[in-house]
Chains A and B, each alone.
Chain A
Amino acid sequence: MDISTVSGPQARSLPVNRSPRGALQGKKRTGLSGFSRQRIRTAWLFLLPMILGLACVAGWPLLRTFYLGFTDSSLSNLDGANFIGFENYLVYDQGEWYGILADSLWWRAVGNTVYITLLSVSLETVLGVLVALILHAKFPGRGLVRAAILIPWAIPTVVSAKMWGWMLHDQYGVINDLLMSLHLISSPVAWTVNPDTVLGTIVAVDVWKTTPFMALLTLAALQMLPKDCYEAARVDGIHPIKVFFKVTLPLIKPALVVAVVFRMLDALRIFDLIYILTSNSEDTMSISIYARQQLIDFQQVGYGSAASTLVFLLVFGLTLGYIFATRLKFDGSGDH
């Protein structure tokens, strides 16, 4: 049989002997076929290792850290700990405040971390954009230069810290030697010991190591820019510097903002560089160093965990604040 059109009422009614067909009509369909349901089930199965892994090895330890922060446990006595509420954070005892929030060293660490982060991230953003602009131009050997600037990013922080530690050495370091022969300083400076220079030194080394990351992300953004804007600007005879600020910068800003978030996250949890370069010196203590010192060196797991919790909150808070302030959209809903 042939149904010529569905517009007439006669076309819609099927012959009586077909009555079993359409029997499902009454049942509510979920809108998903067995095949799709199977597919979604498989998807969850595929996600299971990741979810389990993240939950057990990241989520659970995080929760434990939160919990341990409210106990007086120590490294030698992890199990027999007592719940002590907020005492690790702040407690008033016999006319004195105790706890992390009353510890001037903690606040110093916070100050150092924020100082390093702000200075380092802003310096490397500016430098990174400059480097990206250089690498965006066409010149012979560009690939090699690009690979060369990647190297500082790729090597272990321990290595870069050691290399700079050596170069900044007060007696035998190259830096002092160079600066003295250029008559920029009159006597050797103990860069990594002198409280006046040490933070700046750390920022300088950090900038050296992480500018490539910024530069490459910026470069990628530059390479995705439409060419016609520039041609239009060139035809109009606008000064290149003006073009950069009026055209280029606004266009690469979204990519830059993302790169800054990544870098900020990294800088806020800075550990290796300071640990190697200046060890546990109070002048340079970062929040991660502070927390780990309490936790492992002083074996005060409870107190250290409380500090770790604060680190987590601080990093998360500052990052979310930044994401919010720049209205960055991190939605993963993009589709194929």
Chain B
Amino acid sequence: MSSIEFVKLEKVYKGLSDFCAVKGVDLQINEGEFVVFVGPSGCGKSTLLRMIAGLEDISGGELYFGDRCVNDLSPKERGIGMVFQSYALYPHMSVFDNMAFGLTLEKGSRETIKEKVEEVARILQIDHLLDRKPKALSGGQRQRVAIGRAIVRQPNVFLFDEPLSNLDASLRVQMRIEITKLHQRLKTTSIYVTHDQVEAMTMADKIVVLNQGRIMQVGSPLQIYNEPANTFVAGFMGSPTMNFIDVEAMDEQLSLRTGQANRRFLMPFRHSGPATLGIRPEHIELQPQADAIPVETRISVVEHLGNETLLYLATDLCEQPLVVAVSGEMAPEIGSELTIYLPLERSHLFDAQGDAVKRQGSASVN
């Protein structure tokens, strides 16, 4: 087990035109933490993970495991265990041999290897499958074997690259819980790449949001959700995504660009100039509220999800429809008018560069 520190890590893919996939990433990962990398496709998550693994050369900066710079170490010397999206089980070996392969290369005694493999197999509930070949296993079982193979060698760091994306939805939930339990049991520093925000929110001690090779924000799941550092994180995390409305801020006051342009609202932020107001669909209210901006809307689309209903509302505030999540029992009519209330103390303000403006005190309607 070890802590990990990134110092200005960079990755340049050399080619006809050089491509910088990771751009100066600084990050500190504590011992025993479960860190999740999320970001849109192609943002460099896998690249970063593979740089930690030692499968991809580091073009610039340093990587430390504990106090040791590991830039020049092989994956084995770094002591990592990795679970691949495609499982990458050795097709010609039995489950037992798959899991024992790393240990046999280390030339351990046969009994210890057998003991270790069987113990891990018990933990993962695959002890009855040890004699099978990978092609005789289901997807979930394969994934367990892949995890088992990574565990047996008791690595310092666990790396997962979208390990669950080949599984069906219910199995995914189940495996997600098991990986979390496993981490609680083993307490090995783990880095987990996914593009599934539910996985990120539920599994992580710490989420790292990446975009275009840069870190957008690092924080606990609730920090990321409640205090997104910029519009990218705010828009990326949360489903359905946050609504953004262009506003004009004047010190502690805010005015809308259209419609009720002359109305001022007192906001819990101090900022001046053009800004973006962000509010999550689940925070928008249908009942009149203190400290809320009332907005006249027309219902354009209704999506019933069962437990909740999403309303897409046309307004004159912004081009995109505003999305509101309401209780599943509601059966609103398309085309009907609806007044919604945007509570300011649950909203976020972003400056013209997209960075979040720090919240202060509470607010009240003017």
Q: Is B199 in contact with chain A by the CB < 8 A criterion?
A: no
B5 lies within 8 A of A21 (CB): yes
A5 lies within 8 A of B215 (CB): yes
Interface of chain A residues 1 through 37 with chain B (CB within 8 A): 1-7, 11-12, 14, 21-22, 24-25, 29, 31-36
B62 lies within 8 A of A11 (CB): no
Residues 332-366 of B, flagged 1 when their CB comes within 8 A of A and 0 if not, give 00000000000000000000000100000000000
Q: Is A38 in contact with chain B by the CB < 8 A criterion?
A: yes
B217 lies within 8 A of A5 (CB): yes
Known contacts A32-B57, A34-B72, A36-B57; decide if A3 and B28 are in contact (CB<8 Å): yes
B7 lies within 8 A of A3 (CB): no
Q: Is B270 in contact with chain A by the CB < 8 A criterion?
A: no
B59 lies within 8 A of A38 (CB): no
Q: Return A248 CB to nearest CB of chain B, in Å.
A: 35
Q: Which of chain A's residues have a CB closer than 8 A to the CB of B215?
A: 5-6
B60 lies within 8 A of A35 (CB): no
Q: Is B64 in contact with chain A by the CB < 8 A criterion?
A: yes
Residues 80-123 of B, flagged 1 when their CB comes within 8 A of A and 0 if not, give 00000000000000000000000000000000000000000000
B interface residues, how many (CB within 8 angstroms): 35
Known contacts A21-B64, A29-B60, A36-B57; decide if A6 and B214 are in contact (CB<8 Å): yes
Q: A2-B218, A33-B57 are in contact. List 19 more A-B contacts (CB 8 A).
A: A3-B27, A3-B218, A4-B217, A4-B218, A4-B219, A6-B26, A6-B215, A7-B229, A7-B230, A14-B7, A21-B64, A25-B61, A31-B14, A31-B57, A33-B58, A34-B74, A35-B72, A35-B75, A38-B74
Q: Is B216 in contact with chain A by the CB < 8 A criterion?
A: yes
Q: Which of chain A's residues have a CB closer than 8 A to the CB of B71?
A: 24, 33-34
Partner of A34, one of B26, B61, B73, B219: B73
Q: Return A215 CB to nearest CB of chain B, in Å.
A: 33
Q: Which residue of A lies closest to B60 (CB)?
A: A29
A7 lies within 8 A of B355 (CB): yes
Q: Is B54 in contact with chain A by the CB < 8 A criterion?
A: yes
Separation of A117 and B28 alpha carbons in the complex (Å): 70
Q: Which residue of B lies closest to A12 (CB)?
A: B26
A35 lies within 8 A of B218 (CB): no
Q: Is B129 in contact with chain A by the CB < 8 A criterion?
A: no
Q: Which residue of B lies closest to A35 (CB)?
A: B74
Partner of A2, one of B8, B25, B61, B219: B219
Q: Which of chain A's residues have a CB closer than 8 A to the CB of B12?
A: 31
Separation of A269 and B75 alpha carbons in the complex (Å): 50
Q: Return A22 CB to nearest CB of chain B, in Å.
A: 5
Q: Return B5 CB to nearest CB of chain A, in Å.
A: 7
Separation of A21 and B67 alpha carbons in the complex (Å): 9
Residues 313-326 of A, flagged 1 when their CB comes within 8 A of B and 0 if not, give 00000000000000
B26 lies within 8 A of A3 (CB): yes
Most chain B CB within 10 A, of A1, A7, A24, is at A7
Interface of chain B residues 173 through 220 with chain A (CB within 8 A): 206, 214-219
Q: Which of chain A's residues have a CB closer than 8 A to the CB of B137?
A: none
- The dominant DSSP class at the A interface is loop
Separation of A32 and B206 alpha carbons in the complex (Å): 30
Separation of A12 and B57 alpha carbons in the complex (Å): 23
Q: List 24 A-B contacts (CB under 8 A).
A: A1-B28, A2-B28, A3-B218, A4-B219, A6-B25, A6-B26, A7-B355, A11-B26, A14-B7, A21-B62, A21-B64, A22-B8, A22-B62, A24-B62, A29-B58, A29-B59, A31-B14, A33-B73, A34-B71, A34-B73, A35-B57, A35-B73, A35-B74, A35-B75
Q: Return B308 CB to nearest CB of chain A, in Å.
A: 31
Q: Return B158 CB to nearest CB of chain A, in Å.
A: 20
B14 lies within 8 A of A5 (CB): no
Q: Is B69 in contact with chain A by the CB < 8 A criterion?
A: yes
Separation of A7 and B212 alpha carbons in the complex (Å): 13
Partner of A33, one of B8, B72, B229: B72
Q: Which of chain B's residues have a CB closer than 8 A to the CB of A7?
A: 216, 229-230, 355
Q: Which of chain B's residues have a CB closer than 8 A to the CB of A32?
A: 57
Q: Which of chain A's residues have a CB closer than 8 A to the CB of B74?
A: 34-35, 38
Q: Which of chain B's residues have a CB closer than 8 A to the CB of A21?
A: 5, 7, 62, 64, 69
Q: Which of chain B's residues have a CB closer than 8 A to the CB of A36?
A: 57
Q: Return A37 CB to nearest CB of chain B, in Å.
A: 9
Q: Which of chain B's residues have a CB closer than 8 A to the CB of A34?
A: 71-74
Q: Which of chain B's residues have a CB closer than 8 A to the CB of A2?
A: 28, 206, 218-219
Residues 32-58 of B, flagged 1 when their CB comes within 8 A of A and 0 if not, give 000000000000000000000010011
Q: Return B173 CB to nearest CB of chain A, in Å.
A: 29
Q: Which residue of B lies closest to A38 (CB)?
A: B74
Q: Return B319 CB to nearest CB of chain A, in Å.
A: 27
Separation of A33 and B50 alpha carbons in the complex (Å): 13
Q: Return B156 CB to nearest CB of chain A, in Å.
A: 17
Separation of A25 and B8 alpha carbons in the complex (Å): 9
Q: Which of chain B's residues have a CB closer than 8 A to the CB of A5?
A: 215-218, 229-230
Q: Which of chain A's residues have a CB closer than 8 A to the CB of B27?
A: 3
Q: Which residue of B lies closest to A36 (CB)?
A: B57
Separation of A32 and B14 alpha carbons in the complex (Å): 11
When A and B form their complex, which 7 residue pairs have the shortest distance between CB atoms, in order from nearest? Answer: A34-B72, A35-B74, A5-B229, A33-B57, A6-B215, A33-B72, A36-B57
Most chain A CB within 10 A, of B24, B27, B57, B206, is at B57
Q: Return B82 CB to nearest CB of chain A, in Å.
A: 15
Separation of A106 and B27 alpha carbons in the complex (Å): 75
Separation of A21 and B25 alpha carbons in the complex (Å): 14
Q: Return B53 CB to nearest CB of chain A, in Å.
A: 11
Q: Return A125 CB to nearest CB of chain B, in Å.
A: 37
B218 lies within 8 A of A22 (CB): no
Separation of A302 and B253 alpha carbons in the complex (Å): 100
Separation of A3 and B54 alpha carbons in the complex (Å): 24
Q: Which of chain B's residues have a CB closer than 8 A to the CB of A35?
A: 54, 57, 72-75
